[in-house]
Amino acid sequence: MIVADRKSISEIRDMIKGHDRVLLVGCGTCVTVCLAGGEREVGILGSAVRMSLKLIGRGHVVVDECVIERQCEDAFIDALAIRGVEYDAICSLGCGAGVQALAERFPDKAVYPGLNTQFIGILENQGVWAEKCAACGACRLGEFAAVCPITRCAKRLFNGPCGGSRQGKCEITADRDCAWQLIYDRAKALGILDKFEAVAGLQDWSTSTDGGPRKVVREDQCIASLE
Amino acid sequence: MNDNPVILAFCCHYCAYAAADLAGSMRLQYPANVRVLKLPCTGKVEVNYILAAFERGADGVFIAGCLEGGCHYLEGNLRARRRVERAKKILQEIGLEPERLEMYNLSSAEGPRFAQIATEMTERIAALPPSPLRPDRATVEKNVQEMAAAAQAAVAGDNR
């Protein structure tokens, strides 16, 4: 899932304080699961922002809250379309895609991000999320025993480990596992260490963000173009 | 200084609420500023509940749960403690004194301890100015009573 965390209350307050009516919009998917932008977090932010505005003498600013099921898909924004008219600004507690989807749907309104979108990751422990995927567009997990060296090795080495691997930890910080130790351990357990005799090939970065904004097109699904 | 603060106490059914009851049975005196909101467990307390109390004008809030290790639901009071810590940070960030909020632990047999907590918290809040978010006192009183009644109704609904 996409993992995000909330911007500081003062940063959000300062973004919206020039408006008179603001709608905080949460999202019911990834950011709900990572406890950044779901119903509860929108409620907490709403209370905090209203109090904060009142304390700086902007208590007349209306700050309301709602959550839609999925911000990154226009069909789900329908539920918001009528209500959105009542506000002059929207603060999204969705990921960067959600913020931009709202901005595209409401071209005449200010739309602000309430979250900092961090990465694609998974829950590691209660309250701890870890990055697992860099969305490089050319997945090579099959070559590396299903441990991503791009995301999890600090140097993004395809032929690791480097000399900074210390008892299974990365030299960057003692609480970060060395990705290449993980790759080695898993490959050994699977009996596929011989695969690492060969030098790993170069990565095609043209499929990553180096090639500019990306699109995925499934022609069999493009019904509209047939009409 | 605030000579008549309104303090909302989120009390666990299994400990603090029973202790408050016991304090009453023991005819113990404590300041009349504390309004009790009963919950099945302090693990039910979310950060937005705490903030809602301050937003409605409460001068102080305390959460009173079971002794650590003694939660009826195993870890509700530990969760509450972490949420109180988070709420304190939010209060600080928006410019409200974090000491307006506190977490306490006690057992159901500690009537005198409940009276002591209520007194200690009232003295602490009385030493601060009234909450800058506070409307007139009657409105705060009404808001807090409504919160307590809503919680009571929700708990009653859960038990149906």
Parent domain of A176: 134-198
In which band, very low, low, confident or very high, does the pLDDT at B159 lie, cut at 50, 70 and 90?
low
Range of the domain at B129: 7-158
* CATH number of the domain residue B129 falls in: 3.40.50
Q: What is the pLDDT along chain A (227 residues), one digit of tens a residue?
A: 999 999 999 999 999 999 999 999 999 999 999 999 999 999 999 999 999 999 999 999 999 999 999 999 999 999 888 888 899 999 999 999 999 999 999 999 999 999 999 999 999 999 999 999 999 999 999 999 999 999 999 999 999 999 999 999 999 998 899 999 999 999 999 999 999 999 999 999 999 988 889 999 999 888 876 66
CB pairs under 8 A between A and B: 41
What residues in B contact A47, CB-CB < 8 Å? 48, 51-52, 54-55
Residue closest to A9 by CA, chosen among B89, B140, B132: B89
- Considering CB atoms only, which of A9, A10, A47 is closest to B55? A47
Q: By CA distance, what is B91's nearest residue in A?
A: A48
A11 touches chain B (CB under 8 A): no
Nearest CA in chain A to B57: A51
Query: Is the confidence at residue B32, as pLDDT, over 80?
Result: yes
The pLDDT of residue B121 is above 90 = yes
pLDDT at B45: 95
Contact between B104 and B64 under an 8 Å Cβ cutoff? The reply is yes
What would the pLDDT profile of B75-91 be if each residue is shown by its tens digit? Answer: 999 999 999 999 999 99
Q: Cis peptide leading into B5, omega within 30 of 0? A: no
> Does A142 lie in the same domain as A111?
no
Answer yes or no: is A210 within a domain: no
Nearest-neighbour CA in chain B from A121: distance (Å) = 24
This complex has an ipTM of 0.92
How many Å apart are CA B154 and CA B45, to the nearest integer? 13
CB contact under 8 A, B90 and A50: no
Please indicate, yes or no, if residue B13 is contained in any of the structural domains: yes
Residues of chain A contacting residue B46, judged by C-beta atoms under 8 Å apart: 40, 44
Please check whether residues A7 and A91 belong to one and the same domain: yes
Per the domain annotation, does B1 fall within a domain? no
Whether the pLDDT of residue B10 is over 90: the answer is yes
In contact, B111 and B25? CB cutoff 8 Å: yes
**Does A152 lie in the same domain as A115?**
no
Residue A85 C-beta-side C-alpha neighbours within 13 Å: 5
| Last-in-domain residue among A119, A154, A178 | A119
Does B46 fall in a domain?
A: yes
Report the domain count for chain B: 1
Structure tokens at B42: 């302090």
Q: Are residues A163 and A88 in the same domain?
A: no
User: In this predicted structure, what is the pLDDT of residue B136?
Assistant: 87
> Which residue type sits at A202?
L
Is A14 near chain B, with CB under 8 Å?
no
Domain of residue A97, CATH code: 3.40.50.2300
Higher pLDDT, B155 or A59: A59
Helix axes B76-94, A9-16, angle to 10 degrees: 50
What does the pLDDT read at residue B151?
80
For the cut 70, the answer to whether the pLDDT of residue B18 exceeds it is: yes
Q: Per the domain annotation, does A217 fall within a domain?
A: no
| Neighbouring-strand partners of residue B51 | none
Residue carrying structure tokens 């097109």: A217
Sheet strand arrangement including A2-6? A2-6, A115-125, A128-133
- The answer to whether residues A33 and A57 belong to one domain is yes
Residue A147 covered by a domain = yes
pLDDT at A227: 61
Whether A218 maps to a domain, the answer reads no
Of B48, B52, B94, the CB nearest to A52: B94
